[in-house]
Chains A and B, each alone.
Chain A
Amino acid sequence: MSAADVVVIGGGIVGTAATLFLQRRGLSVILLERGLIGQQASGVSFANVRRHTRPLHQLPLAQRSYDSWMRLSSLIGDTCEFRQVGNLAVTYGNAQLEHWEQYVRAARDYGLELEILDPLRLRTRFPYLSKNIAAGLFSPKDGHANPRLLVPAISRAAEREGARIVLNAEVTSIDRNADRFDVAVGGHAEYRAPIVLIAAGAWAGKFVAALDGPVPLFASGPQLGVTEPLPYRIGPTISVFADRVPERIYLRQVERGNIVFGGGDRGPASTETNRASVLPTNTLGQITQLQRLVPALSTANVIRVWSGIEGYLPDALPVMGASSRVRGLYYAFGFSGSGFQLGLGVGDVLSELICTGHTDVPLCQYDIRRFQPATPKSAPGSTRPS
């Protein structure tokens, strides 16, 4: 039996970041990862480092995360291809414009400076965009990073701070006994800690159900693809905002020249089979929209598509914070496809919450109680997920 102050379950961006920040605050952490670090949703993410167009209530968390992004090199000893090339939301019609104008004013109160671009300025600054783009919302300090490198780099930084990272350790049960949790891997109770953080993404559901009651978490797969390398021209990450889901595509160009894209309908994903697939019809829909957004892309080729297993909640917001029923139990999962930028901030804020019992970043929107009946039943004790 190994003991620590905190056991973190899940080695994605949230779990590794929380481990890093907890260690830095002086707590000892054991991170249990069922496979390899950053192998699931975090590692295959579109890797959008985006603050704007998030719900306003999420901006304090996104800003907190932004602070970590800005000092990534000193924090984890690697920049992981993080480029502050800006982040541009665009629309084909003007329907969004009024909403965006309000958003820009409101975001300023959170310290986020944004810019609305009319068609003329869009064409001057981003001449490759379709002439049919009617408006843009630009966040100059955001950008994108390399998801395959980031999470392992955070994990290595956490290890340097003294964390113990255990790979291929599938947690089979979490038992609450008196003032501590006994965490079993492969059927054997091997790890013990007074605090457990569940950051298991799409795999979190069974643990939460056993300890705190069910949450409507489901797995789904983003539909991503990449072109062959092209001359490096496209600066910012660009996303289309539209009413119709298939029109909502997004793209970014890496310095090597490849254009990474995603968006539209999601695909099937399963935590049982560990498979997530890209539906070919989705790829066909995406390339139509890519051409519409950047007409010059019609001469390019798609060389690869991929997906991953992401955890979604019906309101597209995560569950994050303390359990309402089980003392010492914390959550951060269900980021619903928009957790990449937040991950570092989530780890930072949760470590603060766990160590001090308080954080200034509002978390009430992410409380697990929004999925629980108003009158809680007697708290489930020690149960094992099937």
Chain B
Amino acid sequence: MAGPRIVVVGAGPAGVRAAERLVESGLKPIVFDEACSCGGQIYRRQPGSFTRSYAELYGADADRAKSIHAAFDRILPSVDYRPNTTVWNISGNELFTAADRQGRVVEFDAAILATGATDRMAPVRGWTLPGVYSLGGAQIALKAQACGIGSKIALLGTGPLLYLVACQYSKAGIDVQAVLDTAPLPAQLLATRQLLAKPGLLMRGVHLRLRLMSKGIPVHNGVRSPEIVGPERVTGVRWRGADGTSESVDADAVALGFHVRSEAQLADLAGCPFSFDEQMRQWRPDCDATGRTPRPGIYLAGDCIRILGGHAAEIAGRLAAISAMADHGIVTAAREAAVLTRRLRSYQRFQKALTNAFPWPEAEIRKLPDDVIVCRCEAITAGELRKAAVVMGAAELNRAKAFSRVGMGRCQGRYCASAAAQILSDARNLPLEAVGRIRTQAPVKPLTIALERVES
């Protein structure tokens, strides 16, 4: 049937469930996936020649992972699946893709953006040393490459992923020296009651912690002034404890991350408005509870809207598919949508509790010394950024970028913009939201000049 052209960007839990729901209604969506096979970051599949079991790879998430992979395998004949494909731009009702050296332009009537999340990074002294990885990167090494980032590692940052990756590394037989969480313990205890919104997920968190304890892996809460040390590559981590005492641990690699942040660049390029989320302390694209944005034809699903995690992303994927189809007169699954929306809401309560339990370390970033690099791509220090703010008069992030080059490099601010905004707001004595956010510019990821345009 010549139905509306609905495309899905991303094949993680949100993208897979969106595609599945579209197929259920008889559509044949195009699914773009940056990876070589479905699963997204959370349920990333191992290379075909690897033979680890689901339980080994995904632990408590094994059933979920299996279900997502199976669902996608089932609908594969009914979707136009394009793996290894980056959607690098969106303009009007056209997507621009790059796969290997082939560039295509794909017209759509509705696009469901399920672009997920990346590590939310905060700079610490020494974070540019060889041997420092993001938490997500450390996890990819295990899942997709079956190797660790080091043989004796420390994990530094905050968020549920910190504990999950620690357990995964420990289980893989790698020596985990310490888990260093900047979140103070009282905040986590206080949040416990709210975390009961999802008792199952709370229990998994508790379980992770108990596992670390049983393995004798030290967990430090309320870590202050952390520094990754080593003259040429990582040799350890130094920090001050909650009571001010100086502590240190040896490590040959560090996994660093402060929860995750939405990957919403495509939504920005598509023209979706953004609002500041006071709870998450970040900007996020506007959309209703079912993923419908103010920009006609653009729908969002999963962690690219806000970080609710993989389970919620599955629900959001189906919801966005229903919204897109409802707007194009294909289905009116109002009851189904209502049920899904209600289920999604409980994750939002849980998420609020999580951000309370693992707060973004604003105070740590504010006191970052001038000589610490904030923007890794362009090697811009906190001092240079402060100079752009105070001496050159930049009171807004794009202005600070223009003056200092912060956020101007390959990653386009993915890994520095959160911290840069924090430093700028501090230097100018402005609320975080007042310094704005870096405007997305194409390409979403670096685009090879060798790209040849081919007809889709």
Contact = CB atoms under 8 A, between A and B. Distances in A.
Interface string B437-448: 000011100111
A287 B96 CA distance: 14
A289 to B, nearest CB: 10
A305 B409 CA distance: 12
B449 A283 contact: no
Contact of A298 (B105, B410, B450, B453): B450
A303 B410 contact: yes
Contacts of B105: 280-281
A284 B97 CA distance: 11
A228 B409 CA distance: 7
Given A36-B399, A277-B91, A279-B91, A303 B446 contact: yes
Interface string A21-45: 0000000000000001001000100
Nearest to B411: A303
Given A152-B403, A277-B91, A280-B94, A301 B448 contact: yes
B222 to A, nearest CB: 38
Interface string B415-456: 000000000000000000000000001110011111101000
Nearest to A304: B441
A367 B443 CA distance: 41
A301 B393 contact: no
A277 B449 CA distance: 20
Interface in A59-95: none
Contacts of B403: 148-149, 152
A165 B88 CA distance: 40
A299 interface: yes
User: Counting chain B CB atoms within 10 Å of each CB, which of A43, A301, A306 scores highest?
Assistant: A301
A291 interface: yes
Interface in A135-172: 148-149, 152
Contacts of B451: 284, 287
Interface string B67-108: 000000000000000000000110100101000000101000
A315 to B, nearest CB: 31
Contacts of A379: none
A267 B170 CA distance: 54
A300 B447 CA distance: 8
A355 B443 CA distance: 48
A283 B402 contact: no
B392 interface: yes
B355 interface: no
Contacts of B450: 291, 298-299
Contact of B91 (A39, A256, A280, A306): A280
Contacts of B402: 43, 148
A152 B393 contact: yes
A305 B443 contact: yes
A357 to B, nearest CB: 36
Contact of A280 (B96, B412, B446, B448): B96
A112 interface: no
Given A149-B403, A281-B105, A283-B89, A302 B453 contact: no
B449 A278 contact: no
Contacts of B378: 256
A377 B103 CA distance: 55
A303 B409 contact: yes
A109 B412 CA distance: 47
Contacts of B202: none
A6 to B, nearest CB: 23
Interface in B143-178: none
A302 B399 contact: no
B197 interface: no
B446 A291 contact: no
Contacts of B449: 227, 287, 290-291, 297-302
A256 B378 CA distance: 9
Given A152-B392, A299-B450, A303-B446, A284 B399 contact: no
B142 interface: no
A36 B96 CA distance: 33
B446 A302 contact: yes
B42 interface: no
Contacts of A297: 449
B399 A306 contact: no
A280 B410 contact: no
A290 B447 CA distance: 13
Given A36-B399, A43-B402, A148-B402, A302 B443 contact: yes
Contacts of B89: 280, 283
B410 A283 contact: no
A152 B387 CA distance: 14
A283 B94 CA distance: 14
Contacts of B103: 284
B403 to A, nearest CB: 6
B442 to A, nearest CB: 5
Nearest to B409: A303
A284 B447 CA distance: 10
Contacts of A228: 409-410, 446
A303 B377 CA distance: 11
Contacts of A43: 402
Contacts of B453: 284, 288
A272 to B, nearest CB: 15
Contacts of A149: 403
B408 interface: yes
Among B378, B403, B441, max chain A CB count under 10 A is at B441
A212 B442 CA distance: 40
B412 A304 contact: yes
A249 to B, nearest CB: 12
A361 to B, nearest CB: 31
B399 A283 contact: no
A227 B393 CA distance: 28
Given A227-B449, A302-B449, A305-B441, 6 more contacts: A149-B403, A279-B91, A283-B89, A291-B449, A297-B449, A304-B408
7 contacts: A228-B409, A278-B441, A278-B442, A280-B89, A300-B449, A304-B443, A305-B442
Q: Report the 7 A-B pairs with minimum CB-CB distance, sorted nearest first.
A: A301-B446, A298-B450, A148-B402, A280-B89, A280-B96, A302-B447, A287-B449
